[in-house]
Amino acid sequence: MPKIVRFYQTGPAEVLQIEDLPQQEPKENEVRLKIQAIGLNRAEIMFRTGAYLERPVFPSRLGLEAAGIVDAVSAGVIGIKIGERVSTVPSFSMSSNGIYGEEGIVPAHAVARYPSELSPVEGAAIWTQYLTVWGALVHHGKVGPGQRVLITVASSSVGLAAIEVSNLLGAKPIAVTRTSAKKRALLDVGAAQVIANAEEDLPAMVREYTDGEGVDLIFDPVAGRFLEALAACAGQNASIIEYGWLSGEATPFPLFPAFQKGLAVRGYTLYEFVNDPVLRPAAERFITDHLAQGRLKPRIDRTFSLFDVVEAHRYLESNQQVGKVVMTV
């Protein structure tokens, strides 16, 4: 029987349990994967603690991003074959289709092939970060050469992907991290400048790095009162794209900076387009082409065994990582 991670109540990492469950058969338009690696995301911590967009239905599975081998397909599935190497695109319910375990069943639309140059560990670290960034910077932000992009929580996998994509588009990525401990690492992955916002005056440093003009786009998962500081960093006609709520605080709208600067603030998640028949293929082509050419490369901070899922969640919550945390199976 495959080993599966489930939990029966919201709470700390210790609520996660590994159980032996009977093997399940995929239903119509579903595929079953033999999981090789699992990418961890903040969304799973929020889901585990009851703070996510979706509420768990107990006993609940969890997990959105994995790489594996297709070992069963159901009726109605076209174009996916047993034995293919694929990874999952977040576009399903974690409660019912979560992929923490030795096997996972997901909708057929939620799998995608990834370049042969990548390992399964890297394959489990693609879609959440790069699709999130593609939607924000390419589709909504229309970032281009010479623009200045402020990227907060820059040492996360999404933050690092935003630095990579900004450079690909000819923009200038300015990374924001809490302390100076990660400055060197962020410069090494391509940040033009790095600001430690717990140690430095964020708006003042942005003004210094932009000759007083401010930035053109701000990409942020924190929200809360931090949005006021971000609004002070914005230039004329800038946009702030909020893709998370790590602060857990009420988020006041910066009305007067919006008046003064023509500032736009937008909430965003990748779920806006992962099932769009036009946008998702365009995003996948952009990502896979650049991955295959080596222009994008997911950075793996640390790997854990599936049996160390509690420790892996604790580590992700510690904010020590620079890049993706992955569990191997």
pLDDT at site 22: 95
pLDDT at site 17: 97
Mean pLDDT, the chain, integer: 96
Q: Is residue 283 part of a domain?
A: no
- As a whole number of angstroms, the distance between CA 188 and CA 190 comes to 6
Residue 10 has pLDDT above 90, yes or no: yes
Q: Is residue 276 part of a domain?
A: no
pLDDT at site 34: 98
pLDDT at site 53: 84
Looking up residue 207, the CATH number of its domain turns out to be 3.40.50.720
Same domain, 182 and 75: no
pLDDT at site 235: 97
- Count how many domains the chain has: 2
- b/e per residue 77-100 (b: at least 16 CB within 10 A): beeeeeebbbbbbbbbebbebbbb
* Stretch 166-183: mean pLDDT: 97
What's the whole-model pTM score?
A: 0.93
Strands (E), the chain: 3-6, 17-20, 30-39, 65-73, 85-88, 103-107, 111-113, 148-151, 172-177, 193-196, 215-220, 234-242, 264-267, 300-305, 324-328
Same domain, 118 and 147: no
Same domain, 136 and 64: no
Same domain, 93 and 155: no
Same domain, 112 and 139: no
* Stretch 42-53: mean pLDDT: 92
- For 102-119, the pLDDT digits (tens) are 999 999 999 999 999 999
Residue 248 has pLDDT above 90, yes or no: no
Which residue range forms the structural domain that includes residue 324? 3-126+298-328
Same domain, 158 and 110: no
Residue 75 has pLDDT above 90, yes or no: no
Same domain, 186 and 264: yes
Q: Is residue 248 part of a domain?
A: yes
DSSP symbol at 10:
-
Residue 76 has pLDDT above 90, yes or no: no
Same domain, 121 and 17: yes
